Chains A and B, each alone.
Chain A
Amino acid sequence: MTKQQANWSPYDNNGGSCVAIAGADYCVIAADTRMSTGYSILTRDYSKICQLADKCVMASSGFQADVKALQKVLASRHLIYQHQHNKQMSCPAMGQLLSNTLYYKRFFPYYSFNVLGGLDNEGKGCVFTYDAVGSYERVGYSSQGSGSTLIMPFLDNQLKSPSPLLLPAVDAVTPLSESEAVDLVKTVFASCHRERHIHFVVVMLWSGTVDFVNDTCKELTKENSHGDKVEIVIVNADGIHREFMDLRKD
Chain B
Amino acid sequence: MMKLDTSGLESYTSQFGASSELSGGISTSPSFELPSITDFDGFQKEAIQMVKPAKGTTTLAFIFKEGVMVAADSRASMGGYISSQSVKKIIEINPYMLGTMAGGAADCQFWHRNLGIKCRLHELANKRRISVTGASKLLANILYSYRGMGLSVGTMIAGWDETGPGLYYVDSEGGRLKGSRFSVGSGSPYAYGVLDNGYRYDMSVEEAAELARRAIYHATFRDGASGGVASVYYVGSTGWKKLSGDDVGELHYKYYPVVPSPVEQEMVEE
Interface residues on chain B, number (Cβ under 8 Å): 48
Residue of A129, A133, A165 with most partner-chain B CB within 10 A: A165
Complex CA–CA separation, A4 to B244 (angstroms) = 56
Q: Among B78-86, B166-174, B217-225, B252-260, which stretch is in contact with chain A?
A: B78-86
A149 within 8 Å of B (CB atoms): yes
Partner of A163, one of B6, B107, B228: B228
A111 within 8 Å of B (CB atoms): yes
**Contact residues, B12-70 vs A (CB, 8 A):** 32, 34, 38-39, 42-44, 46-47, 50-51, 53-54
Q: Among A9-17, A51-59, A202-210, A222-230, which stretch is in contact with chain B?
A: A9-17
User: What does the 1/0 interface line of A53-77 toward B look like (CB < 8 Å)?
Assistant: 0000000000000000000000000
A3 within 8 Å of B (CB atoms): yes
> Which residue of chain B has its CB nearest to the CB of A134?
B106
Nearest Cβ in chain B — how far from A74, in angstroms? 17
Interface residues on chain A, number (Cβ under 8 Å): 36
Nearest Cβ in chain B — how far from A54, in angstroms? 26
Given contacts A111-B50, A165-B228, contact A137 B86 (CB under 8 A): yes
Q: Among A98-106, A192-200, A239-247, which stretch is in contact with chain B?
A: A98-106
Task: Assess whether A165 is in contact with B46, with CB atoms less than 8 Å apart.
Answer: no
Contacts of A9 in B (CB 8 A): 1-4, 46
Given contacts A107-B149, A149-B81, contact A137 B87 (CB under 8 A): yes
B residues at A contact (CB < 8 Å): 1-4, 6, 9-11, 32, 34, 38-39, 42-44, 46-47, 50-51, 53-54, 74, 81, 83-88, 104-110, 149-151, 228-229, 231, 242-247
A residues at B contact (CB < 8 Å): 1-6, 9, 11-13, 37-38, 99-100, 102-103, 106-109, 111, 129, 131-137, 139, 149, 163-167
